[in-house]
Homo-oligomer: A and B are copies of this chain.
């Protein structure tokens, strides 16, 4: 069992800096594309054997130190009462986005063991196969709410912020329900075998500190409180969060994820040197010539300074079209450069 990922999350010494990439299972791999020709994205997420196969693809091919369950942030929205689908080239589309208090009141907390059993089954199957730790995950309330309210991806999040500002009670009811759902879901993933969890609050970078503190922090804190007593690392991730890292840390988590806009050493100081740090190569650097790519990997490692508690990752998900050989080169380079 390769446990350097779990050791780094606990800020224990490691033989090599562990590496995994967000969206490491996905479109940049030919193996994945072959499966996608026969199945929709939701079929891959909702069929345990397929989710297992996709999750394992990059572990076998590329040597990552952790696996992340292949799934999608939006999966819990359907049993909550918000069915959605992926339209080709357009991303997710929520059938009936939330626009009112009544829409929020129509949602229901659910039992993940009943409604999302296929995800938990994939976790159980994966644990039999894997020789690296398995990370479970969920979207955080703000990020899930942006999809639920906007109906899909959005540039300005104007509807989301409009609801926050205009009907704060409705917002807090929605975010509180999402916090309960996410907490239940992450706990169920851990009970099924996930050895770490990552909370993706990918879009909070659009908020200033005051809004984060008022509309987001209490709900995220509730999620982490709901995980109390589970002895697994809890990664708290967002993008464009240079100004929010201290507040994210306050909200909770034992590992803070930082994107490439914030130099890793500065991000670690803002999040606190008493948590582990995950990041933070710009995913577009994987399109760069090898020399530039590895120089920037070395810069991340230099900023980590060999201090226990660094998990090497991208600053956001790997992009479609990324050359697989560059991914492999980074994984190998991190391992070689940090061998102790």
**A289 / chain B contacts, CB cutoff of 8 Å:** 165-166
In whole angstroms, how far apart are the Cα atoms of A50 and B319 in the complex?
Answer: 42
Does any Cβ of B come within 8 Å of A282's Cβ? yes
Chain A interface size band reads 35 or more
In whole angstroms, how far apart are the Cα atoms of A289 and B163 in the complex?
Answer: 11
Q: Which of B158, B205, B209 contacts A319 (CB 8 A)?
A: B158
Within 8 A of B (CB), among A306-331: 319, 321
Does any Cβ of B come within 8 Å of A106's Cβ? no
Does any Cβ of B come within 8 Å of A288's Cβ? yes
A166–chain B nearest beta-carbon distance, Å: 6
A165–chain B nearest beta-carbon distance, Å: 3
Given A158-B287, A243-B242, A319-B158: A282 in contact with B205 (beta carbons within 8 A): no
**A288 / chain B contacts, CB cutoff of 8 Å:** 162, 165-166
Q: Which of B205, B287, B321 contacts A240 (CB 8 A)?
A: B205
The 28 listed contacts between A and B (C-beta, < 8 Å) are: A153-B155, A157-B284, A158-B284, A158-B319, A161-B282, A161-B284, A161-B285, A161-B287, A162-B284, A162-B288, A165-B284, A165-B285, A165-B287, A165-B288, A165-B289, A165-B292, A166-B287, A166-B288, A206-B261, A208-B260, A208-B261, A208-B263, A210-B296, A211-B282, A240-B261, A242-B242, A242-B243, A243-B261
A1–chain B nearest beta-carbon distance, Å: 35
**A282 / chain B contacts, CB cutoff of 8 Å:** 161, 208, 211
| A283 nearest CB neighbor, chain B only | B156
A262 touches B287 (CB 8 A): no
**A287 / chain B contacts, CB cutoff of 8 Å:** 158, 161-162, 165-166
Q: Which of B156, B262, B296 contacts A243 (CB 8 A)?
A: B262
Per assembly, the copies of the chain total: 2
In whole angstroms, how far apart are the Cα atoms of A10 and B289 in the complex?
Answer: 45
Known: A209-B263, A211-B282. 12 other contacts (CB 8 A): A158-B284, A158-B287, A158-B319, A158-B321, A161-B282, A162-B284, A165-B284, A165-B288, A165-B292, A166-B289, A206-B261, A208-B282
Q: Could you say which of A155, A243, A262 has the most chain B C-beta atoms within 10 Å of its C-beta?
A: A243
Q: What 1/0 flags go to A254-270 for Cβ under 8 Å of B? A: 00000011110000000
A319 touches B284 (CB 8 A): no
Does any Cβ of B come within 8 Å of A299's Cβ? yes
Q: What 1/0 flags go to A204-247 for Cβ under 8 Å of B? A: 01111111000000000000000000000000000010110000
In whole angstroms, how far apart are the Cα atoms of A153 and B155 in the complex?
Answer: 10
| A165 nearest CB neighbor, chain B only | B288
A152–chain B nearest beta-carbon distance, Å: 13
| A155 nearest CB neighbor, chain B only | B153
In whole angstroms, how far apart are the Cα atoms of A164 and B56 in the complex?
Answer: 33
**A211 / chain B contacts, CB cutoff of 8 Å:** 282
Q: What 1/0 flags go to A272-285 for Cβ under 8 Å of B? A: 00000000001111
**A261 / chain B contacts, CB cutoff of 8 Å:** 205-208, 240, 243
In whole angstroms, how far apart are the Cα atoms of A102 and B208 in the complex?
Answer: 43
**A319 / chain B contacts, CB cutoff of 8 Å:** 156, 158
In whole angstroms, how far apart are the Cα atoms of A287 and B163 in the complex?
Answer: 9
Q: Which of B162, B207, B284, B292 contacts A156 (CB 8 A)?
A: B284
